[in-house]
């Protein structure tokens, strides 16, 4: 499973937002962790949080465990090879993050593992929302990375489960291209919604200043 630029951007932005608003995050749940990218990024910038990562694919869960064990934060990182629909935690979480399999109803590839990673046949957005409601504490925050064309759909189904949009960031590859991803934050309480955008590259192909600022602590070369 490749490490994608948009996932790195999401991980960096979630970590930045939590640090900026000085929220006390004691525990975090990463739903569909894959190779553990988001969990590792959060652990790097937030030295106190205990992080549980859930992954349905056995090979990916194994690789996430290897990555966690090789990191300086292994004592705070736990991986569970379970479908989130069957996962049971001892306590509810202050923060839940997810980069879910979101290409529902799009053409699938011949690679079964890639299908699980990229499509929502094993985890629908409805099931994901239900899991968030179950595992998120009342004052908690849920953050998700979505394809742009499914953003409003997810906001609507989340609202039906009393998960209310608090922040939305739309992502462009360059200034002249259309939005292709969105990052959305939800809480169980209704608050004023913040909206903004992030552009990954300038028209000359170089990373934007905002991207460099966000990813500077994670990328070796920018």
pLDDT digits (tens, 9 = 90+) for 125-149: 999 999 999 999 999 999 999 999 9
- The domain spanning residue 71 has which CATH number? 3.40.50.150
In a domain, 222, yes or no: no
- Asked if residues 26 and 93 have their Cβ atoms less than 8 Å apart, the reply is no
In a domain, 221, yes or no: no
Tell me the residue range of the domain where 113 lies.
5-215
Closest among 195, 202, 151 to 175, alpha carbons compared:
202
Buried b (16+ CB within 10 A) or exposed e, 179-214: bebbbbbbbbeeeeeeeeebbbbeeeeebbeebeeb
For residue 179, list its beta bridge partners.
172
Number of folded domains in the chain? 1
In a domain, 84, yes or no: yes
| Helix, strand or coil, per DSSP, at residue 55 | coil
In a domain, 220, yes or no: no
pLDDT in tens, 31-83: 999 999 999 999 998 888 999 999 999 999 999 999 999 999 999 999 999 99
Model's pTM, two decimal places?
0.90
Distances (CA, A) of 116 to 6, 28, 123: 19, 23, 9
As a whole number, mean pLDDT of residues 171-179 equals 96
């Amino acid at each position: 499973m490749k490490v994608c630029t948009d996932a790195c951007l999401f991980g960096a932005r979630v970590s930045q937002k939590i640090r900026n608003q000085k929220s006390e995050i004691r525990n975090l749940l990463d739903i569909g962790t894959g190779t553990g990218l988001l969990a590792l990024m959060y652990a790097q910038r937030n030295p106190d949080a205990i992080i549980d990562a859930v992954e349905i694919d056995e090979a990916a869960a194994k690789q996430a465990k290897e990555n966690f064990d090789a990191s300086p934060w292994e004592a705070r990182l736990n991986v569970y090879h379970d479908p989130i629909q069957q996962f049971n935690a001892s306590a509810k979480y202050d923060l839940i993050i997810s980069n879910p399999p979101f290409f529902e109803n799009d053409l699938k590839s011949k690679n079964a593992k890639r299908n699980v990673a990229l499509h929502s046949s094993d985890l629908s957005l409805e099931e994901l929302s239900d899991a968030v409601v179950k595992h998120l504490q009342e004052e908690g925050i849920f953050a998700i990375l979505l394809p742009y064309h499914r953003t409003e759909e997810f906001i609507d189904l989340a609202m039906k489960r009393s998960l209310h949009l608090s922040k939305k960031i739309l992502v462009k590859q360059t200034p002249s291209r259309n939005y292709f991803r969105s990052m959305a934050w939800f809480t169980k309480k209704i608050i004023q919604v913040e909206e903004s955008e992030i552009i990954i590259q300038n028209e000359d192909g170089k990373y934007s200043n905002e991207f460099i600022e966000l990813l500077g602590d994670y990328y070796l070369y920018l």
